[in-house]
Amino acid sequence: MTKHYLSMLDMDPETARAVLDRALEMKRTRHRSRLLDGKIIALLFEKASTRTRLSFEVAVRHLGGEALFLSSRETQLGRNEPVRDFARVVSRYLDGLVVRTYAQQTLDELVAFATIPVVNALSDQFHPCQTLSDLLTVYERRPDLENLVIAWVGDGNNMANSWMNAAALFPFTLRMATPHGFEPSADVLARSQRLGAKIELGNDPVAAVTGAHFVNTDVWVSMGQDDPEGAKRSAFEPFQVNDTLMAHAAEGAMFMHCLPAHRSEEVTEAVFESNISIVWDQAENRLHTQKAILEWIFTQD
């Protein structure tokens, strides 16, 4: 059966923990293999990228495969070729697709018609590879994950949705604070809670951060969005992660950001460049987690 990774819930809790353990082992051993020997994995990107593209290209090479980058502008998708037609054609050339797209619907249609694995490298609804690698960064420091509080402060975006999914797989408490009108998906929240996620959702950043062991945020205006009048930035100003907000967190709390960051917007320079910031470990861990995800996908059960 072909494996896909479109959201974190494509793994069960046992599998997700095993992939984290494997990613940590790969990091410690600087893992290389020939698992993907003879295989070509295409990276189809509608959005520009630094960490996602580099980490996946290097991951494929570390596993012995070949990565082929495709911009949607350079394919017939950019000229409105139906996604289903694209999926059926490239399935005859390639061994896997890593897709960074605007619409989750694009991924769903690719999976419906492709006969090769499809990995969500980012969509408007989810960012599972980023969130799993961020969890690796937490896991390195707190391997029990029990009695752990992770705060999300800012936009209820694709990252927020994926963190809610993560809370359904791992036993930490997720406290979320977003401005009114910018809450994460109610459907994703409800499903994660049905699966046992411990999520506290509100509109007060101080309440979310108080006692938290990790404080996580993202940009206020994501790629492809517009805020010409600055209305969104104005609504988000009380949600900036700064020294005052971090003072409410638990002793030894760490700051997280998936990058790229807009300094002086969602986070101050002082916090971002401080010794409590673990953003560079997060960025590095994209590589190790990507390798573990690819190994999970291409290893036969």
Binding residue positions for carbamoyl phosphate = 49-52, 76, 100, 127-130, 258-259, 286
> What are the residue ranges of helices labelled H in 63-122?
83-90, 104-113
Annotated binding site, which residues?
49-52, 76, 100, 127-130, 158, 218, 222-223, 258-259, 286
22, 62, 257, 286: which one is catalytic?
A: 286
53, 62, 100, 175: which one is catalytic?
A: 100
125, 130, 240, 282: which one is catalytic?
A: 130
Residues 163-172 as b or e (16 or more Cβ within 10 Å = b): bbbbbbbbeb
100 is catalytic: yes
4, 127, 213, 257: which one is catalytic?
A: 127
**Per DSSP, what are the bridge partners of residue 96?**
41
79 is catalytic: no
134, 155, 258, 288: which one is catalytic?
A: 258
Strand 173-177, strand 198-202: pairing: parallel
233 is catalytic: no
User: What's the token pair of residue 147?
Assistant: 């009695």
CA dist 75 and 100 (Å) reads 14
CA dist 74 and 66 (Å) reads 19
10, 124, 155, 218: which one is catalytic?
A: 218
62 is catalytic: no
Annotated binding site for L-ornithine, which residues?
158, 218, 222-223
Contact 282, 252 (CB under 8 A): no
CA dist 21 and 230 (Å) reads 43
CA dist 277 and 281 (Å) reads 9
218 is catalytic: yes
Instruction: Give the residue numbers marked as catalytic.
Output: 100, 127, 130, 218, 258, 286
